[in-house]
Chains A and B, each alone.
Chain A
Amino acid sequence: MAENLLFLTELMGMKVFDLKGRKIGRLRDACLVPRVDPVRVDRYLVGGELTWWTVRFDQVATISLDGIFLRDEQLIPYHEDEFMLRMVRDLLDQQIIDIHGRKVVRVNDVTLERRHEDGHDQLWVLEVDVGVRSIFRRLCQGIVPPKLVRRAMMRIPPNSIRWEFCNIVEPDPQRRLRLNIDMRALEDMHPADLADIVEELSHEDREAVFEAIDSEVAAETLSEVEDPRTQVSILESLEADRAADIVEEMAPDEAADVLAEMEESKSEAILEEMEAEPKTEVEELLEFDEKSAGGMMTSEFVSVPDTATAADAMAAIRLNVDAVDTLTTLFLVDAAGRLTGVLPIGRLVLADPATPLRVLAGDDDTVSVKVSERRDRVTEVVDKYNLMALPVVSDAGILLGAITADDIISVLRQE
């Protein structure tokens, strides 16, 4: 064990001595002030006989297992300070998000590094400890001498998370601001991983995450949350306008699915706040029975006139940049909007720009389903014809939407 490391458990209850070497109290907590420095311990809280004192980091001379020795005795009594992150109170035993390991963990201990700078000892937060070694340390704290604990614990493999990968979840937005907690690091995670994490959090922590992250990421994450009940409770916990921002970013079919599960007054409040265009799309989808093709389809698809050429089709795709990530199939329609053909994107890539789309699509029968078709029949059709996207048409043959393979997978998994 490197000599310059110190654990929060060892720090807790450590004796604090004044200039003349008299004991003035024991250490109760160590605080970061993230707005000043997110890593360096800024204040030490010392429990004296009558009151708690606040010790600034530059008032400390040395810190070791023998105790904390001050170099300045001008201490001020402790008072609650909203800008302080008290490690014992706010971090120890609480759940945080391990961004690197993509999971929720519970903090057992904190590893601090002692640096001698500007002529005095300072502590810097290095890692948050989880796992058996830190549990062992906590259990022994105050009962077994620290030096013995340090030797014994070497047999247990360590399990720690670097401080920069730790994301604290704070439900109160004011305090989040004061403690400089942002959730931007969460936005870099894959939405599916973030959804798994969110599902493990408590109600208010969930709400905090969805309030704080970018609405596009929030929308993707919400789509990845598996249990519809959880999706609903997340949306219901948010303010209607925030919920609307998120719903707008979701695929219309998924948005409609979630809203359909909600109480009508709540879902109406959200729809009220939405922008006109996504709102009408979602509202149209809400009209359909959940268990029919209409309830499964999305209204986000790319259709082109069947009289167009490959070059026109490429242009149409360029206009729908948002859809590109999941786009597999183009739909051909006649002047009245009736479905006349289906064209896999792959064929377009190989085609000469001047080729008419009708030729590219070939003479194969176009497989489609009516909007009222039952759900199990839809999955059957997709399976039978090995489709990536299945067009959904009205009774008159007008193209209304599409059901994609990932929708089918979700349906099958839920059954």
Chain B
Amino acid sequence: MRLVERLPRPLLIFFSVIGPGFVTAMVDNDAGGIFTYSQAGAMFGYVMLWTLAPIALLLVVTQEMNARMGAVTGKGLSDLIREEFGLRTTFVVMLLLVIGNFTNVIAEFAGVASALELFHVSRYVSVPLAALAVWFLVVKGTYASVEKIFLGACVVYIAYIAAAVMISPDWEASALASVYPVIHWDTAYLTLLVGLVGTSIAPWMQFYLQAAVVEKGITVKDYKESRIEVIVGCVVMVVVAFFIIVACAAAIWKHGPREIGDAAEAAKALKPFGAYAYLLFSAGLLNASLFAASILPLSTAYSVCEGLGFESGVNKRFREAPIFYWLYTGLIVVGAAVVLLPNFPLIKMILFSQVVNGVLLPIILVFMIKLVNKTDIMGEWTNPRFYNVIAWIAVVVLAGLTMVLMSLTVRDMFFAV
């Protein structure tokens, strides 16, 4: 405690606002993210590393706008959308958000299942237990202790860096590939490219981050530190992604490029390089899945209830905020149950979720740019012009990419063998 008090003030403020931006960025590397990065490494080696820098830029631009809106207005994104664009728009956005997030939750529980199956724990044990744990963690714990658990969990992501280092990959090649853009004009590469962007920049993040900034009580005064925190979070997230790709490139691609079925398969591929690399990768996957599984349902319930004007909050009793609790519980229970269904078309479901998120993301970004430029909401904190240019380019790029992804997915869903 004494040590913390002696730190210079800017640093002190940084540590006191650490949280929202960091947690969002960390949760972003969820089960789906790890799978996609592993896939990129396994199939194309170091080649796709160049995408990470632009992804980081897009991430920073979008996340920064959310943090700024939260700090300036003290309102969540769904609140602002509701107040400026009306109930019907909000309802449609919330419906898409629930569908998109629900399928994400399924993916997280599937991640828990496959991570623990590596340790020979049956999914019929691990998934119900994980669901219960997640539910209790949020409903019965106080917010402060919950956030400490989440933040502590972020440390586990170092596991990926350690795992990658143990395999001793080709650092020169990976450094070169990080700055040298290569595009292969084949479907596999393009699908993966879109997938990388899609898992890195997801609609739920915009809602979660802004809500968390408001919840934390961050105001314009501490905004500078908050912005640094958002940027640091995004950078760390991309660094973790870098090491996942590198690890899989060295462990799988080097011995013959191939497609992997799930993230657990990537972990298995690390086995020859020592028990620790394997253990670390699996632990990282498990943590990522649990972490995202705790945040996604909660964030969804908050956003929906705020946007539609229902009472919300874990400090309320069930009777006071029934819709909030039903939605929250429902997402967890159904999300976990679906994973246990034999023959459930999990991959199709995840692809479907990518489509829904793909439709939603550009819509939300357009709303965000409109909101952040309104002087009656943001005062002097509207976007500078160059910022708007970047933001609109981001929208066009993301919309274009998701369009590609959607058409690819729809084709796969209906015309694949």
Contacts and interface: CB of A to CB of B under 8 A. Distances in A.
Nearest to A413: B142
Interface string B71-89: 0111100010011001110
A95 B76 CA distance: 13
Contacts of A108: 87, 309
Contacts of A94: 83
A135 interface: yes
Contact of A139 (B73, B91, B221, B310): B91
Most chain B beta-carbon neighbours within 10 Å: one of A106, A131, A135, A206: A106
B308 A93 contact: no
A130 B88 contact: no
Nearest to B305: A106
Can you list the 5 inter-chain pairs with the closest CB atoms, starting with the nearest?
A: A106-B309, A202-B74, A203-B74, A229-B217, A138-B87
A25 B311 CA distance: 38
Nearest to A109: B87
A135 B83 contact: no
A202 B73 contact: yes
Contact of A135 (B73, B74, B308): B308
Interface string A184-205: 0000000000000000011110
A281 interface: no
A135 B87 contact: yes
A261 to B, nearest CB: 11
A232 B72 CA distance: 16
Nearest to B309: A106
A105 B306 CA distance: 10
B278 to A, nearest CB: 41
B324 to A, nearest CB: 13
A106 B82 contact: yes
B217 A139 contact: no
Given A103-B311, A135-B309, A236-B221, 6 more contacts: A92-B86, A93-B82, A108-B87, A131-B310, A203-B72, A204-B73
A138 B82 contact: no
Interface of B: 72-75, 79, 82-83, 86-88, 91, 217, 219, 221, 308-311
Most B CB within 10 A of own CB, among A92, A227, A229, A230: A229
Nearest to B75: A202
Contacts of A307: none
A197 to B, nearest CB: 12
Interface residues of A, number: 24
Contacts of B72: 203
Contacts of B74: 201-204, 206
A204 B83 CA distance: 15
Contacts of B309: 105-108, 130-131, 135
A111 to B, nearest CB: 16
Contacts of B79: 95, 202
A233 interface: yes
Given A108-B309, A130-B309, A202-B73, A138 B88 contact: yes
B206 to A, nearest CB: 18
A135 B91 contact: yes
B87 A139 contact: yes
Interface string A116-142: 000000000000001100010011000
A93 B86 contact: yes
Nearest to B92: A139
Contacts of A135: 87, 91, 308-309
7 contacts: A94-B83, A95-B79, A105-B309, A130-B309, A202-B73, A202-B75, A233-B221
